[in-house]
Amino acid sequence: MTEQGEIRPGSYGGSRQSIDIEREEIRDGGIVQPIQAGLRLGVYSQESDPEYEESGASPPMRVFRYGERLRFPVKLRAPRNFRNPGAFDYQGYLADNGIVVLGSTQAAKIEVLPGFAGTRVSAWRDRIHHNVVRKIHRLWTPDDAALMDAAVMGEGAFLTPETKTDFQRSGTYPILVVSGMNVSILAFVVFWVMRRCRLGDGVASALTLLLCAGYAFVTDVGPPC
């Protein structure tokens, strides 16, 4: 796993979460194909997905964390864009983040394999990121917190499909994506505050760079387009 998910209510009851995964291999029947490519996986509890109609309650969904190795059945599909003029390039956004396909599966069918895939630094970053998101949800109402997550931390887990569609169709979806613009605004505000505190240009510049680097690290801001 390259990106931890957040558990939220499902559309049909139960719960769901979205996680980003770098695939190691794909098995199609008896054929095993080693492949490394990004997958954004929607994970559903048994009762939240109408595709599954088995009887009995599923166990509570757990949070799948960065670095875990998972095995699961999945149907893959390519991401698509809205074809409205000026609409947000969702497919390109996913590609910039290493995601080339989408898929969904049932939480009960995910098997956690032994071993750790990733780096300790990235695991630490992921933990800080999600701790900040949880703090936002303790301070704001659910609807406001979902928008704050996306605009400030780049976390779109709690955005409803209707909200995403509205922003995409209006061409304002980039507001919900953390980019170099966010870092620039933060740098301006921090430097202005430091100068108001009568710190020298050198000290203010150094503190601004440190805080902006920390923000970019926690939010995982990529290079500007």
Average pLDDT in the chain: 79
Would you say residue 17 has pLDDT above 80?
Answer: yes
Report if pTM > 0.85: no
pLDDT (tens digit per residue) in 86-129: 666 778 878 877 888 898 888 888 888 888 887 888 888 888 88
Closest CA to 160 of 145, 148, 146: 146
Torsion angle, CA of 220/119/100/40, rounded to 10 degrees?
A: -80
Residue 158 half-sphere exposure toward CB, CA atoms < 13 A: 23
Q: How confident is the model at residue 225 (pLDDT cuts 50, 70, 90)?
A: very low
Range from 46-50, 172-176, 189-193, 210-214 carrying the lowest mean pLDDT: 46-50
Helix or strand holding residue 189 (H, E): helix 180-196
CA–CA gap between residue 95 and residue 222 (Å, rounded) = 12
Number of residues written out for the chain: 225
In this predicted model, which residue has the larger pLDDT, 33 or 204?
A: 204
pLDDT of residue 85: 65
pLDDT (tens digit per residue) in 37-81: 788 888 888 654 444 444 445 566 788 888 888 888 888 888 887
pLDDT of residue 108: 85
Helix or strand holding residue 44 (H, E): strand 38-44
Q: Average pLDDT of 141-165?
A: 82
pLDDT of residue 99: 85
Long-range contacts of 56-62 (CB under 8 A, 24+ apart): 58/14, 58/106, 58/107, 58/108, 59/108, 60/15, 61/7, 61/14, 61/15, 61/16, 61/17, 61/107, 62/107
